[in-house]
């Protein structure tokens, strides 16, 4: 512990020399909020197989229990996203569900409708050529708008698996028009002061065309819908080599960056632990967010300070709670490194065209070991300085394994 305190004091001294007050950095870290997904605590997995994990949550209350445990370990995960119908209470009492979460010290965050799993959606949901199927999907999403009010949720998170597998399978322009019409209906029925977070995906599960394939499509529709509609950026939903931080900056400047689904991927799909494949990219994304948070451009600053930061990961072979905690810590570390970028010196180097110096200042911040800083912040927040070690020694894993056993299916996956 004395080594940790010494390392923290040294870092504080180094930052002070750069004109970066350590107290301001810590205050920002105290305010950080990462939402965890209920489905990440269950036996959810890939489309090919969900490997059952001893102790994985089966009921929604068990998912809330696990989310609360992650919050006790990290201090920055006070809300949990829910998926309907996977998290539909058996008695239909969403108020009781909200109260149970509050009793565990957390709140319900984004509501995620499911319009991709039923056999009926084989040819899509809102883009389906069958009006009856479109109506079924629309009814479900409108029901989720009602559920939002019962859960005090302010975010409707929409992802669609809609698309086509073969050229000529359907009329692409008509699919676009169906989506625009139905999204408009949903927008009109959203609770007051709530937001629609519209997600996109480059490909999968459709292989020829995807109805919302990129951030530009989502952005264009959000502009048509209104100020309550914003784009949700999923880190794994892009083609190889795409500069995600540039997309983030564009949407920030336009006031249309609503949220993130944090995860990572190497080739395709997107369910790896955030920061596990490309931690530098994660840092660069947070760098743009912090630049907006601390900048003088009020619209971008307000947008940056109202972003919904959420994990969207399905831990299939590595357990449930530990990878969730590790994911949160990776986001926390990337954010801390972005907070210690010397903004004034960086701006001066950029204005002077000092290319290498600007790059060096940014990468030096990335290379800084911020773990002593984060340990100090956690101590101040009255959570364990090392959440991984604390969870392993808590006995919680053994407890839920004994109580829950091994469920073959849960969380909506087979």
CATH of the domain at 81: 3.20.20.150
Residue 399 located in a structural domain: no
**Token pair in block for residue 212:** 């919302």
Instruction: Enumerate residues 6+ apart whose C-beta is below 8 A from 362.
Output: 287, 341, 346
Position 268 scores a pLDDT of: 84
Statement to judge: residues 206 and 274 lie in one domain: yes
In a domain, 414, yes or no: no
Query: Residue 397: which pLDDT band, with cuts at 50, 70 and 90?
Result: very high
Structure confidence at residue 412 (pLDDT)? 52
Q: Does one domain contain both 259 and 329?
A: yes
Check whether 408 has a pLDDT greater than 80: no
Q: Is the pLDDT of residue 69 over 90?
A: yes
- Contact (Cβ atoms closer than 8 angstroms) between residue 114 and residue 412: yes
Q: Is the pLDDT of residue 26 over 50?
A: yes
- In the predicted model, what is the mean pLDDT of the chain? 95
Please check whether residue 228 is in contact with residue 190, taking contact to mean a CB–CB distance below 8 angstroms: yes
More confident residue, 105 or 43: 105
Mean pLDDT of 4-20: 94
**Which of 293, 322, 339 is where one domain is finished?**
339
What's the pLDDT at 90?
84
- Same-domain pairing of 18 and 114: no
Inside any domain, residue 400: no
Mean of pLDDT values over 163-180:
98
Task: Considering only residues 303 and 46, tell me which one the structure prediction assigns the higher pLDDT.
Answer: 303
Identify the domain boundary among 308, 339, 370: 339
User: Mean pLDDT across the stretch 254-276?
Assistant: 94
Within a domain: residue 410?
A: no
Q: Could you tell me the pLDDT band of residue 409, with boundaries at 50, 70 and 90?
A: low
Is the pLDDT confidence value at 220 over 60? yes
294-305 tens-digit pLDDT? 999 999 999 999
Query: Residue 270: its pLDDT value, please?
Result: 84
Query: Alpha helices of 310-370 — where are they, by DSSP H?
Result: 321-339, 343-351, 355-367
Which residue segment(s) compose the domain that 371 sits in? 1-31+341-393
Residues 357 and 332 in one domain: no
- Grade residue 414 by pLDDT with cuts at 50, 70 and 90: very low
| pLDDT at 334 (0 to 100) | 98
Confidence of residue 230 (pLDDT cuts 50, 70, 90): very high
Co-location of 125 and 18 in the same domain:
no
Q: Please say if the pLDDT value at position 411 is more than 80.
A: no
Q: Once rounded to an integer, what is the mean pLDDT over residues 139-143?
A: 98
Nearest Cα neighbor of 290 from 336, 358, 235, 236 is 336
394 pLDDT tier (thresholds 50, 70, 90): very high
402 lies in some domain: no
Q: What is the chain's length?
A: 414
The residue-averaged pLDDT of 11-31 equals: 96
pLDDT bucket at 47, cuts 50 / 70 / 90? low
Q: Is residue 249 assigned to a domain?
A: yes
What is the predicted pLDDT for the residue at 305?
96
Are 195 and 228 in contact by the 8 Å Cβ rule? The answer is yes
Q: Which of 223, 242, 274 is nearest to 35 (CA)?
A: 274
Cβ-based neighbours of 304, under 8 Å, separated by 6 or more: 252, 257, 289, 292, 293
On whether the CB atoms of residues 144 and 113 are closer than 8 A, the answer is yes
pTM for the full predicted model = 0.96
| Residues 17 and 38 both lie in one domain | no
Query: C-alpha angle with apex 169: 215 to 48, nearest 5 degrees?
Result: 70
**298 part of a folded domain:** yes
Q: What number is the average pLDDT over the span 5-20?
A: 94
What is the enclosing helix (H) or strand (E) of 380?
A: helix 371-380
**152 and 17 in one domain?**
no
Tell whether 198 is covered by a domain. Answer: yes
Same domain, 268 and 149: yes
Position 49 scores a pLDDT of 77
Same domain, 46 and 15: no
Model confidence at 44: pLDDT above 90:
no
Q: Is 75 in the same domain as 222?
A: yes
Structurally, the chain folds into a number of domains equal to: 2
Q: Are residues 365 and 327 in the same domain?
A: no
Q: Does residue 341 carry a pLDDT above 60?
A: yes
Output the CA–CA distances (angstroms, integers) from residue 382 to 23, 68, 210, 392, in the order listed.
17, 15, 46, 18
Give 51's pLDDT tier (boundaries 50, 70, 90).
Answer: confident
C-alpha torsion sign, points 137, 143, 145, 148: negative
Interatomic CA distance for residues 358 and 354, integer angstroms: 6
CB-CB contact of 230 with 198 (8 Å): yes
Please check whether residues 262 and 122 belong to one and the same domain: yes
What one-character DSSP code corresponds to residue 167?
T
């Amino acid at each position: 512990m004395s080594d940790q305190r010494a390392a923290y004091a040294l870092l504080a001294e180094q930052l002070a020399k750069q004109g970066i007050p350590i107290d301001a950095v810590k205050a920002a870290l105290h305010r950080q909020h990462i939402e965890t997904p209920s489905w990440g605590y269950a036996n959810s997995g890939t489309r090919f197989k969900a490997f059952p994990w001893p102790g994985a949550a089966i009921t929604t209350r068990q998912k809330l229990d696990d989310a609360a445990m992650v919050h006790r370990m990290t201090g920055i995960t006070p809300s949990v996203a829910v998926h309907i119908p996977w998290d539909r209470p058996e008695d239909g009492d969403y108020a009781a569900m909200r109260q149970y979460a509050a009793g565990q010290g957390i709140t319900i965050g984004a509501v995620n409708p499911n319009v991709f799993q039923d056999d009926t959606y084989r040819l899509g949901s809102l883009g389906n050529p069958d009006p009856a199927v479109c109506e079924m999907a629309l009814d479900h999403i409108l029901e989720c708008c009602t559920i939002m009010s019962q859960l005090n949720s302010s975010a409707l998170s929409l992802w669609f698996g809609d698309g086509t597998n073969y050229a000529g399978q359907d009329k692409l322009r008509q699919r676009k028009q169906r989506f625009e019409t139905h999204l408009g209906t949903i927008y009109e029925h959203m609770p007051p002061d709530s937001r629609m977070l519209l997600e996109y995906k480059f490909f999968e599960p459709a292989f020829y065309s995807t109805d919302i394939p990129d951030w530009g499509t989502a952005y264009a529709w959000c502009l048509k819908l209104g100020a309550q509609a914003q784009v949700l950026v999923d880190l794994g939903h892009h083609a190889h080599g795409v500069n995600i931080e540039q997309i983030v900056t564009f949407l920030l400047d336009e006031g249309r960056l609503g949220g993130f689904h944090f995860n990572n991927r190497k080739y395709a799909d997107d369910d790896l632990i955030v920061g596990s494949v490309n931690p530098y990219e994660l840092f660069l994304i947070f760098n743009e967010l912090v630049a907006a948070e601390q900048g003088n451009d009020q619209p971008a600053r307000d947008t940056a300070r109202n972003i919904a930061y959420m994990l969207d990961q399905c831990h299939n072979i590595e357990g449930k709670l530990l990878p969730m905690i590790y994911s949160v810590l990776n986001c926390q570390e990337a954010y801390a490194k972005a907070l210690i970028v010397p903004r004034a010196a960086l701006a001066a180097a950029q204005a002077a065209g000092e290319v290498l110096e600007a790059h060096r200042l940014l990468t030096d911040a990335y290379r800084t070991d911020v773990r002593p800083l984060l340990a100090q912040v956690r101590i101040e927040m009255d959570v364990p300085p090392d959440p991984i070690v604390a969870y392993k020694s808590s006995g919680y894993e053994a407890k839920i394994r004994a109580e829950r056993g091994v469920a073959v299916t849960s969380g909506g996956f087979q």
